Amino acid sequence: METLRQCIAEADLPRRARACYQCGACTAGCPVGRWHSELNPRRIVEMIARDELEELIRDGTMWLCTSCFSCLDRCPQAIEVTELIRGLKAAAARVGSVPDAEIKKGKAILRDGWASAPIARTVKQRAALNLPELSEDCLMAELEKLLSSLEIPDVLGPCKPSGTKEESKAD
């Protein structure tokens, strides 16, 4: 089994993080950080640079990042903060350290094509805009295409729907 340090080194995260001079522009522009003060991109980058990886993984706040790239847009050093966080998440997943809530979301995406089903309002808006219905077959074909192009660990299990939705909801 790979170790966390091997995965982090492979992604070259510490070197990429050391270019940060800790100005805090990434954190100031983080929309999630406004509502969840525990998500602090500047601190995550600092901890990667300081090799405080186990603490970062244990802390788990990196999973709050939505990959909106606001941090990159604001960074005067053009540090790819979102990519650093994604790399950290990937490394954590490769060593089996993924929060249950994230696994549940991943399973829902594999099962249904989305983390949570669209609300009725969204369906009505799509119809009003003459957009096609969100058919399960179309979503699953797109999802399978996406998953086949990624190197996703087998944390979520098989990449195919596991029978009926009723069977899958027991997960």
User: pTM (2 decimals)?
Assistant: 0.68
Confirm if 43 and 27 have CB atoms less than 8 A apart: yes
Per residue in 98-109, pLDDT tens? Answer: 888 888 888 887
How distant, in Å, are the alpha carbons of 54, 71, 113, 149, 160 from that of 28? 25, 8, 33, 34, 40
User: Per-residue pLDDT for 43 more than 50?
Assistant: yes
Per residue in 134-148, pLDDT tens? Answer: 666 666 677 677 666
The Cα diameter of the chain in Å comes to: 52
